[in-house]
Amino acid sequence: MFRQVISKLSHSSRMELKCQFATLGSASEKLNGLRELMKQKKLEAYLIPSEDQHMSEYVPECYQRRKWITGFTGSAGMAVVTPTEALLWTDSRYFLQAEKELPSCWQLKKLGTPGCPKVTEWLASSLPEGSQVGVDGSLISTGFGCQLESTLHPFGINLVCLDSNLIDQLWSDRPHLPHTPITLLSTESAGLSTLDKIMRVREAMASRDRSILLLTKLDDVCWLFNMRGSDVEYNPLVYAYGVVTQNEAFLFIHPNRLSIEQTAEFEKNGVQIREYDAFLPFIDAMAKQKSEAAEEICFNASDVSFAVFSRLEGRNPDTTFNPITRMKAIKNETEIRNIRDAFLRDSIAMCHLLSWSPRFPAVSPRLESHIDEHPTEFDVAAQSTAFRRRYAQSLGDSFAPIVGCGANAAIVHYEPTSAASSARLQRDTCILLDTGGQYEWGTTDITRTVCIASDAAQSRVDRAFRECYTAVLKGHIALATAVFPARTRGVQLDVLARSALWERGLDYGHGTGHGVGYCLGVHEGPESISTRTNAEKEGFAAGMTMTDEPGYYDEERGFGVRIENTLGLEKTHLDRQFLRFDVLSFVPIQADLCVEEMLTEKEKRWLEKYNSLCLEKMKGYITDPEVLTWLEKQAERSKF
């Protein structure tokens, strides 16, 4: 292999570096400090991923190294620094955001656009033969690490995995990892005990002749051990590792985080507790064991770090199999029942928020904090959180609220961070609200695009926006009403959501839908609905929950549209080998923004039926007369 490992600096050397770089503040100062360390290590390039050692999508502040060095706050991206260049790769969701946030010393690389090479391709074509590319191997996946090696090797470029992280040596005021309280889900809440889940996992492993499963993804660990916490903002997760064999199960966690009762509960379910920091030594010991069985150890290449894989190469692990990924995605009857309840409560909160929206530009007694006559996007985001927080079972938001007014709605993941920096809402403008909640019994995600006017049909919203809004809605309806064979893959359904936009020469850069966890991550695999193909995926099954969220974003004309519901997959009554979607979200879609002649009769009836269903569902739980009046108006305006 052409990988090298550079050992950690001595304690005294690290302390000297901490003192040397203690005052780093500006983007250029940070880059200069990093380049000095690269020079000492003889590196021609250094990679700074977004992930942590668990390959998490969202990470605590202490692991946001890419954000610290670049200033870019989006959740996805890879930074590359050379002696003369600083580059950030990110996808279309974050192009506009990155352009706004990146300092002038950084260059943006737009993934998926013509002429933009992948990170691996750029390194291979830009660096001279004999170069060394450095990376913290614990922060890249096995799949990406192997891809890096195979791409760089033919060009004589060496991948160097560092034991110490260079950003950590520069980041003098780096926060500590939070250790939040841990809750164990009861069988009544989870549907299956930890022991039941472990037995199911062992059966799946045995069917593939695998005897050791490594778990490093936090949601996999928390699902298997029925454990929840709040170590990661917006995600009820706990930092821990897991290992399952045919005879034993191990949970690697800081023991002082568990109560005596919780430890006893784990022991009752056949789980042995080990120190969090004992995971890598455990892997090292496993690597030294002799075994006649090929591919005895299994995990997913995208879930486990390259550093862990490197320790096990001699054991020839199976990097394509983790049965938990699919088990977790297919919810059991208890989870489905609880998820429906969570979405019911979440829909109530959203109806309160959207019924308030026509009065956004006026002082309203609904507001739970004082704002002036024209509230900001930040105020609306805070209000969405407040409505959800009214429930005792609420655990907060499932992601940072996306609230974009006018041109800000064209930024796919626009996040207002303060009242001072966000736009004020004005009459006859449109606002995109993408929000979600975490509850003890489920995770939610929903998006609505609404007009700030008492009657959108009489507002000054232009025709171009209405046409795009209608095309997006047509795609949303086409996907929501689809009937398809079991094991259909998301790429086969994606065209349904895009077809109406394609007919107008329009498209969107993000995926159409993603899985949603059960009081876990708002983004959950293995299935998704997008243009990306993946032959390894097994396809859809009853019990999964998916989002349906086509959109369109026009930077030049200054607007964005997205309409999103979360749907459950269920078997049809006609043939149990076919599936359909069942809507979980009950929040009206604003019908008077549509261009009526663009809708078919079938689409009109769907919209009328859906908004009437929202009224029927909500009126049994909502007593506020203003909210009920708003619901009635939305249902009435759907009757074209």
Instruction: Note whether 590 and 456 are within 8 A (CB).
Output: yes
Q: Which two tokens stand for residue 221?
A: 């660990």
Instruction: Note whether 226 and 334 are within 8 A (CB).
Output: no
List the domains of the chain with CATH numbers. Answer: 3-170 (3.40.350.10), 183-323 (3.40.350.10), 333-636 (3.90.230.10)
H or E stretch at 324? helix 323-329
Q: How far apart are CA 119 and CA 66, in angstroms?
A: 15
Instruction: Note whether 381 and 405 are within 8 A (CB).
Output: no
| Amino acid of residue 108 | L
Burial 99-132 (b: 16+ CB within 10 A, else e): eebbeeebebbbbeeeeeeebbebbbebbeeebb
Residues near 222 by Cβ (< 8 Å), separated by ≥ 6?
A: 228, 229, 236, 237, 238, 240, 520
Average pLDDT (9-32) is 60
> Cα-Cα-Cα-Cα dihedral of 564, 565, 566, 568, to 10°?
-130
Lowest average pLDDT, out of 4-8, 274-278, 558-562, 616-620, goes to 4-8
Q: pLDDT band for position 455 (50/70/90)?
A: low
DSSP secondary structure string for all residues of 153-170: GGGT-EEEEESS-HHHHH
Q: How far apart are CA 164 and CA 5, in angstroms?
A: 10
| Amino acid of residue 57 | E
Can you give the pLDDT at residue 373? 60
- The 10s digit of each residue's pLDDT in 380-436 is 999 999 999 999 899 999 999 999 999 999 999 999 988 888 898 887 789 999 999
State whether residue 474 is helix, strand or coil: helix
Share of the chain above pLDDT 90, in %: 83
State whether residue 608 is helix, strand or coil: helix
Can you give the pLDDT at residue 291? 67
Q: How far apart are CA 67 and CA 75, in angstroms?
A: 9
Q: Is the pLDDT at 578 greater than 60, yes or no?
A: yes
Average pLDDT (584-602) is 97
H or E stretch at 491? helix 490-502
Residues near 262 by Cβ (< 8 Å), separated by ≥ 6?
A: 182, 184
Q: Closest by alpha carbon to 479, among 597, 391, 377, 606? A: 606
- The 10s digit of each residue's pLDDT in 464-486 is 999 999 999 999 999 999 999 99
**Which residue's structure tokens are 């949601």?**
219
DSSP secondary structure string for all residues of 190-227: HSS-HHHHHHHHHHHHHHTT--EEEE-SHHHHHHHTTE
Q: Is the pLDDT at 18 greater than 60, yes or no?
A: no
H or E stretch at 581? strand 578-583
Q: What average pLDDT does the structure give for the chain?
A: 91
Average pLDDT (130-155) is 97
Using left for φ > 0, alpha for ψ between -120 and 50, and beta otherwise, residue 171 falls in beta
- The 10s digit of each residue's pLDDT in 334-378 is 999 999 999 999 999 999 999 876 555 443 444 434 344 678 999
Q: What value does the CA radius of gyration of the chain take, rounded to a whole number of Å?
A: 25
| Phi, psi angle pair for 192, to nearest 5° | -140, 145
Q: Closest by alpha carbon to 564, among 399, 336, 426, 335? A: 399
pTM of the model: 0.91
